[in-house]
Amino acid sequence: MDPHDNEADTATLEREALGRIIHAFSEYKHTADLDLMIKGRDFSRLKQAHKDLLPHFHAHLRQASQGVQHNHIFLRSMLTQLLEEGPNSSPFLPGALSAAEEYAAGVNGRVLPQDVEKVRYVLKNLMRDWSEEGAAERAASYGRIMQEVESIASRQAPGQVPLSILVPGAGLGRLCADLCSMGHHVLGNEFSFYMLLASAYVLNHSARLHQWTVHPWLHSGCNHFTSASQLRGLAIPDVLPEDLTAPGELGMVAGDFVEVFARPEYQAVFDVVATCFFIDTAHNVIDYLETIVAVLKPGGSWVNLGPLLYHWAEPQEGPDEPNIELSLEEIEAVAGQLGLVMQRRDVVKAPFASNRQSMFESTYTCSFWTMTKGPGS
Amino acid sequence: MDPHDNEADTATLEREALGRIIHAFSEYKHTADLDLMIKGRDFSRLKQAHKDLLPHFHAHLRQASQGVQHNHIFLRSMLTQLLEEGPNSSPFLPGALSAAEEYAAGVNGRVLPQDVEKVRYVLKNLMRDWSEEGAAERAASYGRIMQEVESIASRQAPGQVPLSILVPGAGLGRLCADLCSMGHHVLGNEFSFYMLLASAYVLNHSARLHQWTVHPWLHSGCNHFTSASQLRGLAIPDVLPEDLTAPGELGMVAGDFVEVFARPEYQAVFDVVATCFFIDTAHNVIDYLETIVAVLKPGGSWVNLGPLLYHWAEPQEGPDEPNIELSLEEIEAVAGQLGLVMQRRDVVKAPFASNRQSMFESTYTCSFWTMTKGPGS
């Protein structure tokens, strides 16, 4: 078999995936307006006596529609900047817009429910990473990791700081930017184009504080104390990314963690690997552990915080790879066998993209550890 | 149109729904074994070096298989007792077994994923309602409601106690039984045949303490500190239901809350309506509020505890009814307009069917109130 066939297949699949994601972003307003229309239609089907009990319903829908418009402005600006204008007004991601058009034509313009959810998840992550409301959430996870990195840096010999830090699962980039703000050199890695596009936009194109308003909670009517709380808008960014990072300090590499960091240039080059709500995104977490060992310098540190909500545990579309779900105890045993030495080990509570003003609080009891790469690994 | 056609249609649909549920219970072991087989197959596809890092994997699968067997014993005994032996060895639910066979034939024996989940949800509810491990969860919700009912009873004139209490959304029956144990007369109401069958079995056929062992957590490999914690079995029941209830104190009525309690015999007959994690199961919560007002005696009390995780908020199969999702503030406003008067009002934390030993804790910030039916309602 011609190996080029395989490459061509991969390129086709990647182009299709990118097109599907751009299409989902582009259609955000359309799908959100459709949801509001259904809510309006359901209300119109109530008996008159019930309608009379809810005099503010239409005002609520109008305000929700304004929130959708604010979200749309952010997402639309992002696509315009990254895909249409780009550097020197040429398309930044070659072929992304035509890939989206092709994808849309193949599905008659429809957006799959899971893709609608992923766009809305980006809005919640903007809350987590770039709003003042996210500060408490960030303190409980990024803050702890930063303290630990500070403590590692303080034990280095003079001349060995700044540290070279890898952040797999960089998401919307705040942990990377915060680690840069401490003076370190950080390389982020992210697989999801949803996250890559949004982080590229916030990190590189924020012109001023509180430039955009996002309404991450308006899409669900569940567990709200008040309508106003459901519809509230959050100003982003809460800090200017350029105030956190200096040129050359922050890089971002797209792609699958295990594939990308198998490259020779990444072997034994990082002082620290910092993973936050990341290791449970693996099909096989042992692949991640091996990669972390491989990219660390001897004596380097892996700082991890997160639960074990395995991303692939539920049947879903995706590559046909074997999935395993290990307990914390098993992961620690495997890490030890791979040559990682536990230095500190805690169990801490941390929320993730949680609506603090709502009646539902999802809090993870996270493992939080620092392991070092032993001399023989 | 002949109105009998409609009745015939309804009967056919109900028979089909019952058949589908019995089929899902019957196939529990088959679907669970299939899941374990897939886990074994995935493990066999790992490279040898990774297999060597997980020496206990096959022992884990064998223990999981034993847990499945324990769950199966409970569910199989339940079906045998309620459907096959029944009172006087005649079928208790007429036609249920043949309905299940017909349903199974129509779907080639397959169980839909959502039905598999519902059976597993029954196991988690057995933890909540009938295990020692559920005691803390019950204290946070049933316990608070019981205290409030105690306080209401203490203010009654002599001769007005015991109270007549309705518990809509009775689930596996523990709140009903606990209220009976205080000496009150309780009528439970439940829509789901999953819950109705399991509660009928535990309430009426428990012969001794810790008669069965269930393993509610084995089906997910996520967020476990240890394998042993994932596989742990819980002894049920933690109390003998017959020690909680006396003859004539506890009744259970099947069916849709709004439909059942529209009947003339239920108007203005209850001293207390106690709802726990219930009101968000409505398509239109106003229908529930109106029904609660209607069944309460003048001056009667509605005690409620729960979040607003509207059951129908996500698109799903079900009747084509308009859905509305009101905020807490809106529900309180509507209740006031319907003639309910707020007596006490708190916000309290309460978990629901949550695995306390896991890394994920889902805690609801619940509204907890007592309203009374005003004189003019």
Q: Does B365 touch chain A (CB under 8 A)?
A: yes
Distance CA B77, CA B201 (A): 9
B222/A43 touch (CB, cutoff 8 Å), yes or no: no
CB contact under 8 A, B313 and A280: no
| Token digits of residue B307 | 């979040």
Beta-carbon contacts of residue B162 (< 8 Å; ≥ 6 apart): B153, B183, B184, B185
Query: Which tokens sit at A249?
Result: 């300090």
Of the CA atoms within 13 Å of residue B101, those in its CB half-sphere come to 4
> pLDDT per residue over B306-337, tens digit each?
999 998 887 666 668 899 999 999 999 999 99
Structure token digits, residue A156: 């280095």
Distance CA B310, CA B318 (A): 14
Chain A residues within an 8 Å CB radius of B360: 307, 309, 362-365
Selecting from B39, B56, B307 the residue whose C-beta is nearest the C-beta of A360 gives B307
Beta bridge partners of B301: B272, B372
Do the Cβ atoms of A59 and A9 come closer than 8 Å? no
**Percent of chain B residues past pLDDT 70, beyond the cut:** 94
Rounded Cα–Cα distance for residues B100 and A347 (Å): 47
CB-based contact A286:A178 (threshold 8 Å): no
B231 has pLDDT over 80: yes
Across the interface, which of A227, A322, A327 has its CB nearest the CB of B327?
A227
Chain segment B353-373, per-residue pLDDT in tens? 999 899 887 778 999 999 999
3-state SS class at A285: helix
Angle at A165 between CA A162 and CA A169, to 5 degrees: 155
Judge residue A175's burial from the number of C-beta atoms within 10 Å of its C-beta, 0-12 exposed, 13-18 middle, 19 or more buried.
buried
pLDDT in tens, A13-71: 888 999 999 999 999 999 999 999 999 999 999 999 999 999 999 999 999 999 999 99
**Residue A201: pLDDT band with limits 50, 70, 90:** very high
Nearest to B42 among A221, A322, A366 (CB): A322
Contact B308 A54 (CB under 8 A): no
Average pLDDT on A176-180 reads 97
Mark which residues 182-211 of A lie under 8 Å from B by CB: none
**CA distance readout (Å), B139 to B129, B148, B237, B248, B370:** 11, 13, 16, 26, 18
For residue B272, the cross-strand partners are: B165, B301
Question: Predicted confidence band at A80 (pLDDT cuts at 50, 70, 90)?
Answer: very high
Please name every residue paired with A340 in a beta bridge, in sequence order, or none if there are none: A373
Label the pairing between strands A185-190 and A250-254: parallel
Q: How far is CA B377 from CA B64, B168, B342, in A?
A: 55, 20, 14
Q: pLDDT-based confidence at A1, cuts 50/70/90?
A: very low
Please state, as a whole number, how many other Cβ atoms lie within 10 Å of the Cβ of residue B108: 6
Rounded Cα–Cα distance for residues B373 and B352 (Å): 28
CB B149 within 8 A of CB B186: no
Local confidence band at A300 (pLDDT 50, 70, 90 cut-offs):
very high
pLDDT of residue A5: 63
How far is the C-alpha of B112 from the C-alpha of B122, rounded, in Å? Answer: 16
Q: Chain B: residue nearest A49 by CA?
A: B286
The confidence score (pLDDT) of residue A91 equals 60
Q: Cβ of B224 and A308 within 8 Å? A: yes
Residues of B in contact with A334 (CB under 8 A): 53-54
Q: What is the ipTM of this complex?
A: 0.89
Nearest to B226 among A43, A323, A327 (CB): A327
State how far the Cα of A157 lies from the Cα of A175, in Å rounded to an integer.
25
Name the minimum distance, in Å, from the CA of B232 to any CA of chain A.
14
Measured CA distances, A324 to A284, A371, B63, B113, B166 (Å) = 6, 22, 17, 20, 46
Residue A12 has what pLDDT? Answer: 86
Task: Name residues whose C-beta falls within 8 Å of residue B123's C-beta, 6 or more positions apart in sequence.
Answer: B71, B214, B215, B216
What is the per-residue pLDDT across A55-69, written as a single tens digit (0 to 9) for each?
A: 999 999 999 999 999
pLDDT at A376: 63
Q: How far apart are CA A43 and CA B100, in angstroms?
A: 37
φ/ψ bin of B88: left (φ > 0), alpha (ψ from -120 to 50), beta (otherwise):
left
Average pLDDT over residues A166-171: 98
Q: Does A360 touch chain B (CB under 8 A)?
A: yes
Chain B: closest CA distance from residue A219 (Å): 10
Distance from CA of A321 to the nearest CA of B (A): 8
Query: Which residues in chain B have Cβ-Cβ distances shorter than 8 Å to A227?
Result: 327, 329-330
**Which domains does chain B possess?**
1-111 (no CATH), 131-377 (3.40.50.150)
Window 146-185 of B, Cβ < 8 Å to A: none
Cβ–Cβ of A322/B46 closer than 8 Å? yes
Which region, left, alpha or beta, applies to residue A366 given φ > 0 means left and ψ of -120 to 50 means alpha? beta
Mean pLDDT along residues B19-23: 95
From the CA of B287, how many Å to the nearest CA of chain A?
Answer: 9
- Give the Cα separation of B66 and B228 in Å (integer): 13
